[in-house]
Amino acid sequence: MIDKNSIIYIAGHNGMVGSSIWRTLTAKGYTNLIGATSKEVDLRKQKAVRDYIRKTKPDVIIDAAAKVGGILANNNFPFQFLMENMQIQNNLINEAHRLGVDKFIFLGSSCIYPKLAPQPLKEEYLLTASLEPTNEWYALAKITGVKLCEAIRRQFDKDFVSLMPTNLYGTHDNFDLNSSHVLPAMIRKFHEAKENNNAVVVLWGTGTPMREFLFVDDMAEAVVFALENELPDNLYNIGTGKDLTIKDLALTIQKIVGHTGDIIWDDTKPDGTPRKLMDVSKMNEIGWKHQVDLEEGIQKTYTWFLENITNFKQKEY
C-alpha cells in the first residue's frame, strides 16, 4: 500500500509535468519525494539508472522524463526523439522491474494514436493505423513504453499503468520559440508583438485543426489518482474531452495577453493532425475529472510567464 511516507521517485521532476506532480504531492502531505537532475543521473544510461534505483529504493516510480518538442523539433531531430525517449523509458521500466518496484506510472502522449483515427480517441485505437508523420518518432517511443508496461502487468502482475495526456500546458512550460509547443509559443509571440507596438503575429498553418488542451496541474491530479488507486486497466487517456480550433485558441490567447494587432496564417507551414480529441470516459468513470477550464489555465500560465520572463531571455542570450 502507498502511504504519505512511501518513497516516490519522480523522473523528470524539474520539467513542467514533473514539477507539477512534485508540488501536488507535497501539498497533499507526501514526505519522501526524490528526484535527480540529468547531470546527477543520465537516464539514457542503463547503469546510471540501475545504480540510482538500487541506492534510493523507491516504492513508486513516476516517469515524467522525456525529450519533448513541437513539430519543428520532431522534424529536425527524428533520431534523437526516437532513440533518447526509448533509452529513458526502457531503462526506467526495466530497472524498476528488475529491482522490485511494484508501482510504475508511465506518462505518454495523445500522439500515440493514429493520425486519422475516429474521434474522440479511445484507448483501443492504439496501433490500428498509421501515425502522424510530423511526430511519429516521439509517438513510436511512447508506444513502446505503453506496451512494455502492459507486458510487465500481464506477465508479472505488477501495477504498471500508462497515462496518456492530451496537449499539456501551464506554469514552468517551455517558451522557447524553436522548441516549444503551440500554446506557450503563441503566448510568447502575442506578448512580444504587444510589446512591439502590437505588431503582426504570424502563425503556422491554416488555423483549422482542432486541439484539446489540459492544464498541467490537472495532469498532476490524475497521476495522484493513479498513485492512490490500483487502476483496473493498463492504459488511460487524460484530458478534458473538449477541443477547439487553433484559430480560436489564438484568439483566446490574444485576448488574454492584450494584443490588438493582426494575425497572419502562414498556410505554407504544416497543420499536423486534423483533430485530436481524447475520449476520457474511462478515467472519468473510475473517479478522475479535470478541474481547470482553458481560459483560467491560460491566464495562470501567462501570469507565470510574465513573472519569469527575465529567466527566458537570459537563457537564450
Query: Between 258 and 180, where is the model more confident?
Result: 258
Q: Three-state SS for 138?
A: helix
Pair 299, 256: CB distance under 8 Å? yes
- DSSP string of 25-80, one letter each residue: HHHTT---EE---TTT--TTSHHHHHHHHHHH--SEEEE-------HHHHHH-HHH
Does residue 314 register a pLDDT over 60?
no
Helix (H) or strand (E) holding 236: strand 235-238
Per-residue pLDDT at 23: 98
**160 versus 134: which is more confidently predicted?**
160
Q: Is the pLDDT assigned to residue 68 strictly greater than 90? A: no
For residue 45, being part of any structural domain is answered with yes
Q: Report how far residue 105's alpha carbon sits from residue 103's, in angstroms, rounded to the nearest whole number.
A: 7
- With a cut of 80, say whether residue 72 has pLDDT above it: no
Q: What is the pLDDT of residues 196-240, one digit of tens each?
A: 999 999 999 999 999 999 999 999 999 999 999 999 999 999 999
Q: Does 183 carry a binding-site annotation?
A: no
CATH number for the domain that contains residue 167: 3.40.50.720
Q: Is 164 left (phi over 0), alpha (psi -120 to 50) or beta?
A: beta
Is 166 within any annotated ligand binding site?
yes
Give residues with Cβ within 8 angstroms of 151, minimum separation 6. none
pLDDT at 1: 77
Residue 249 or residue 272, greater confidence: 249
Indicate the SS3 state at residue 290: coil
| Phi, psi for 146 (deg, rounded to 5) | -60, -45
Task: Please report the pLDDT score of residue 67 as a whole number.
Answer: 87
User: Is 35 among the domain residues?
Assistant: yes
Q: So what's the pLDDT on residue 317? A: 33
Q: Which of 30, 52, 138, 302 is catalytic?
A: 138
| pLDDT (average), residues 5-9 | 97
- Cell match 521500466: residue? 93
pLDDT at 316 over 60: no
d(CA 313, CA 310): 5
179 is in an annotated binding site: no
Distance (Å, rounded) from C-alpha 26 to C-alpha 29? 5
Looking at the domain assignment, is residue 47 inside a domain? yes
pLDDT attached to residue 197: 97
* pLDDT given at position 134: 82
Quick check: 104 and 161 in contact, CB under 8 A? Answer: yes
Mean pLDDT in residue range 126-146: 94
19 vs 10: CA distance, rounded Å: 9
The set of cell numbers assigned to 155 is 506477465
- What value does the mean pLDDT of the chain take? 94
* End-to-end CA separation in angstroms for the chain: 48
Structural domain count of the chain: 1
What single letter denotes the amino acid at residue 234?
N
Residue 179 and residue 167 in contact, taking contact as beta carbons nearer than 8 Å? no
Domain span at 270: 8-316
Q: Quick one: average pLDDT of 159-174?
A: 96
Residue 83 has pLDDT above 70, yes or no: yes
Q: What is the largest CA-CA distance in the chain?
A: 61
- Residue 263 pairs in a beta bridge with 201
Looking at residue 188, what is its pLDDT?
A: 96
Question: How large is the C-alpha radius of gyration of the chain?
Answer: 19
Is 203 known to sit in a ligand binding site?
no
* 138 annotated active-site: yes
Is residue 97 situated within a structural domain?
yes
Is 18 annotated as a binding-site member? yes
pLDDT score for 70 = 67
Asked if residue 2 belongs to a domain, the reply is no
pLDDT at 313: 63
Task: State yes or no: 58 annotated in a binding site.
Answer: no
